Amino acid sequence: MQKAVIAFTVFLSILLESAVFRFLPISGVVPNITMILVICFALHKEADEAAVIGLLAGLIKDITVGRIIGISAITFMILAFLTGHYNHKIF
């Protein structure tokens, strides 16, 4: 059940980011809701599980948005792993 909730929220964030926030820039900047969501998940998970969530979220974003496949996936995976790894030092 928890995996389904994570998948739904990642899909919803990508949908909102590409369909809604793309046309409503804040001071000319489009917020990256998916990256914020991956960081939030990484703060609550272990580093390995957070890296998998970041990788899958990035792959889904790369496939749906139509950019080069793998750029967001690698970025989100590294960001989630480092956030999950250093989580105990942050809080």
Is residue 67 scored above 80 in pLDDT? no
Look up the pTM and report it.
0.88
- pLDDT score for 40: 94
Question: What are the residues whose beta carbons fall under 8 Å from the beta carbon of 32, sequence distance 6 or more?
Answer: 17
Distance CA 51, CA 23 (A): 30
Question: What are the residues whose beta carbons fall under 8 Å from the beta carbon of 70, sequence distance 6 or more?
Answer: 58, 59, 62
Model confidence over 6-63: pLDDT tens digits? Answer: 999 999 999 998 899 888 888 988 889 999 999 999 999 899 999 999 999 999 999 9
- The H-or-E segment that residue 43 falls in is helix 33-44
